[in-house]
């Protein structure tokens, strides 16, 4: 199941459930929905509107059908930290891998749903800094929420800003990079990364998409799993927490959208949207394969963490 909700669509004290009336309406309007998705793919729909293809709406009917049949083995929560950055390929792949996926839009200021209803939590990116929570008050509440998730022993995956938030919550410093990264770069697995079940099936060197100007230190007692050239710390594990600085979930459509939304930052960096799109199109298939592989590994790892 794939759901987007805020305070208005979640009743505390009871787990989120599909609205069957909305589901029936969606089924009847499916041909129109598919047509609208194609024409309006750049419109970022809110919870009350039909979302665009980046939100996986074309897959929602199938996912809910699978949920009704009891085929989902786990349920994850995704915390989205800005409108422009959703979970991309991850939110498309999770239902196929047997995981129901709810998205909570933290930037809207509502309280997150109780994590007791979820097996793992994903924390997404945003053009914000965990060192500037005065301007982003929802991040402070989110850090406390992440603390409670980890205290409960549940798996938590932080992506980009989400990884930095995890690192800060675990006592590590978040600071400016020696050099900002935008576009496709290659990373190397560390010896610990090569032995980690989270990266099983990964080559020693692999491409990722980057868009960040800050980086995290590895938390005390944490393990570095992947490193880069301009920005060394790219992935860590600490207990049930996994932080990544990079993006595997991105596709060319999303990269193009970010190039529009963050046009000034891209211009200051010295790249054009055409360069960004050329880079990601060259590795699109590999990124998709790695994204699915990583999610499969993370799901298996989260199931093990749940029983520890």
Catalytic site residue from 85, 214, 249, 279: 249
Task: Select from 55, 49, 53 the least CA-distant residue to 26.
Answer: 49
Task: Specify whether 160 is catalytic.
Answer: yes
Burial grade of 232 (CB within 10 A; 0-12, 13-18, 19 or more): middle
174-189 vs 205-216, strand pairing mode: antiparallel
What are the φ/ψ torsions at residue 177 (nearest 5 degrees)?
-70, 155
Task: Specify whether 247 is catalytic.
Answer: yes
Catalytic site residue from 55, 115, 238, 247: 247
CB 221 within 8 A of CB 238: yes
**Helical H segments across the chain, by residue range:** 20-28, 30-39, 57-68, 88-96, 137-151, 161-169, 191-195, 252-261, 263-269, 273-282, 284-307
Task: Specify whether 57 is catalytic.
Answer: no
Letter string b/e over residues 48-72, b meaning 16 or more CB atoms within 10 A of that residue's CB:
eebbbbbbbbbbbeebbebbeeeeb
Catalytic site residue from 160, 214, 238, 279: 160
The side-by-side arrangement of strands in the sheet containing 99-105 is: 2-5, 99-105, 74-80, 120-123, 155-159, 241-244, 233-238, 223-227, 174-189, 205-216
Paired tokens of 40: 């309006």
**Residue tagged 């963490």 (tokens):** 305
The 10 Å Cβ neighbour count of residue 105 is: 23
Largest CA distance in the chain: 53
Catalytic residues: 160, 247, 249
């Amino acid at each position: 199941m794939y759901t987007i909700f805020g305070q208005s669509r979640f009743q505390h004290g009871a787990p989120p459930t599909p609205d069957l009336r909305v589901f029936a309406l969606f089924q009847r309007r499916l041909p129109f929905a598919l047509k609208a998705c194609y024409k309006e793919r750049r419109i970022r729909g809110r919870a009350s509107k039909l979302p665009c293809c980046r939100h996986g709406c074309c897959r929602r009917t199938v996912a809910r059908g699978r949920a009704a049949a009891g085929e989902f083995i786990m349920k994850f929560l995704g915390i989205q930290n800005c409108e422009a950055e959703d979970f991309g390929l991850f939110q498309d792949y999770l239902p196929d891998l047997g995981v129901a996926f709810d998205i909570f839009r933290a930037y809207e200021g509502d309280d997150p749903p109780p994590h007791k209803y979820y097996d793992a939590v994903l924390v997404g990116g945003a053009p914000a800094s965990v060192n500037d929570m005065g301007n982003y008050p929802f991040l402070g509440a989110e850090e406390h929420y992440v603390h409670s998730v980890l205290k409960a022993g549940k798996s938590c995956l932080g992506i980009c800003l989400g990884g930095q938030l995890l690192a800060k919550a675990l006592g590590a410093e978040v600071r400016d990079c020696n050099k900002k990264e935008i576009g496709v770069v290659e990373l190397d697995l560390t010896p610990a990364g090569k032995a980690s079940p989270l990266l099983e099936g990964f080559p020693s060197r692999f491409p990722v998409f980057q868009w960040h100007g800050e980086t995290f230190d590895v938390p005390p007692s944490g393990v570095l799993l992947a490193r880069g050239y301009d920005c060394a710390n790219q992935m860590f594990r600490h207990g049930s927490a996994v932080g990544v600085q990079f993006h595997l979930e991105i596709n060319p459509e999303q990269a193009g959208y970010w190039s529009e939304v963050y046009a000034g930052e891209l211009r200051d960096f010295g790249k054009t949207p055409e360069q960004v799109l050329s880079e990601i199109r060259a590795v699109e298939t590999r990124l998709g394969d790695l994204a699915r592989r990583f999610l499969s590994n993370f799901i298996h790892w989260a199931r093990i963490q749940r029983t520890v």
